[in-house]
Amino acid sequence: MSDHIVPLERFHDARRILEGRIHRTPILSSSTAARVLAARGIHVADGRIYAKAEHLQKAGSFKIRGALNKMAALSEAERSAGVITLSAGNHAQGVALAAHEAGVHAVVMMPAGAVRSKVDACRGYGAEVILHGEQIGQTWARMEEVQAERGLTFVPPFDDPWVVAGQGTVGLEILDDLPDVDVVVAGIGGGALCTGTAAAIKETRPGVRVYGVEPARSNAMSLAMERGEIVRIQPASVADGLGSPFAGEWTLAMAQRYLDGIVLLDDATIVAGVRFALERMKQLVEPAGAAALAAVLFGKVPIRDGERVCVVFSGGNVETGRLGELLAGAAPLDVPAAVD
């Protein structure tokens, strides 16, 4: 693997490793979403917007894919020593579950304000959870200290070829179920899901366009793309799953090669995607998972008449006790009355 580009065969290797160990998540669809676009003058193929339902994946998000693939690559010495990671929640849960299945002790570093349900889930999978820092950057610094103190192996949330290959199996499955897809849209934080999915798809079907969606105030990848180098930020968004403090060397290189563009959304627009998914598709999707849908609904993604469009519902780990408060902040969206 040269120049920080994960080759196509690694995605297929990851798929074989994951076979029978994760859910084969379905492709959902919404004619109501298509009617929202039709009101904007865009008529998509099949009269539907499609959605890869990774919010129905084990541990509630796509993250288990990369975690399992990385765990399979560890040496016996690394497995015996244990692993450590950090995350606002979904990667933490993926690593916790993957480590549990592999019989490996996992230490999970999370910000002090991490969603309580995600913290509880990590502990439920048997991980040791350490809460530290108001910002993810502070969490990262403490994680490095704990790793050195205990001799643990770091399982990166995104900047690792094994993790990227695991997440990119989402793209292979989209091509299986929608071989004639034209546009794929996914949220982008650190970038493993979006860039891995883009690579797996475009190395197989180069004509497919793939777009990433970032929160406007958590735009580490956009800044890195603009400047051609990694930029550190202080992420601030309701979409905590997209709140990476920086892009990675692997994911930046992959984004530069494979992405057709990155869309920036404010929080109210992202939450409108959550609301649409819940009210019109009867799916509970977290803000990070609904960002791609929101970008399509609000006309932020270039789509041509007759194109087949698929968004990725990347996660569904929502703190239900705060759901009403969350939805109250949604931007208004004109939606036809019909329900799927």
Catalytic residue ranges:
63, 314
3-state SS of the chain is CCCCCCCHHHHHHHHHHHCCCCCCCCEEEEHHHHHHHHHCCCCCHHHCEEEEEHHHCHHHECHHHHHHHHHHHCCHHHHHHCEEEECCCHHHHHHHHHHHHHCCCEEEEECCCCCHHHHHHHHHCCCEEEECCCCHHHHHHHHHHHHHHHCCEECCCCCCHHHHHHHHHHHHHHHHHCCCCCEEEEECCCCHHHHHHHHHHHCCCCCCEEEEEEECCCCHHHHHHHHCCCCCCCCCCCCHHHCCCCCCHHHHHHHHHHCCEEEEECHHHHHHHHHHHHHHHCCCCCHHHHHHHHHHHCCCCCCCCCCCEEEEECECCCCHHHHHHHHHCCCCCCCCCCCC
CA pair distance 292, 28, nearest whole angstrom:
14
